Amino acid sequence: MSIFDELNTSLQEAVEIQKGKTKASRVTRHEVADVRAIRAKLHVSQAEFADAMGTSPTRRAIRLSTSVYPRRPYPC
C-alpha cells in the first residue's frame, strides 16, 4: 500500500468519524500546562520563559490560540 493510499484511507476514516458513522478507535487528550504557575515557581518573566522555550510571547499566544480554536473553512 502506498503512502497516498494510507493517507486516503485515514482521511476517509476521519470523515466517517466526523459524520458520526464510525467511532474513533482511540482518543488522545493532552493536559494544558499552567504556564503562569510554572513561571512563578521559576521566578522568570513571560519574556524570559518564552526565550527559554525558543519562542516569543506573541508567537506562543498565536500558536496556542490556533491549537485551541482551529481555523474552520468558510462557506462559499
**More confident: 17 or 66:** 17
The 10 Å CB-count burial string (b at 16+, else e) for 25-62 is: eeeeeeeeeeeeeebeeeeeeeeebbeeeeeeeeebee
Task: List % helix, strand, coil for the chain (3-state, nearest 5).
Answer: 55, 0, 45
The structural domains of the chain, with segments of one domain joined by +, span: 31-69
Mean pLDDT of the chain: 80
pLDDT at residue 66 above 60? no
pLDDT at 76: 43
Task: Say if pTM beats, i.e. exceeds, 0.95.
Answer: no
Mean pLDDT over 14-22 rounds to: 92
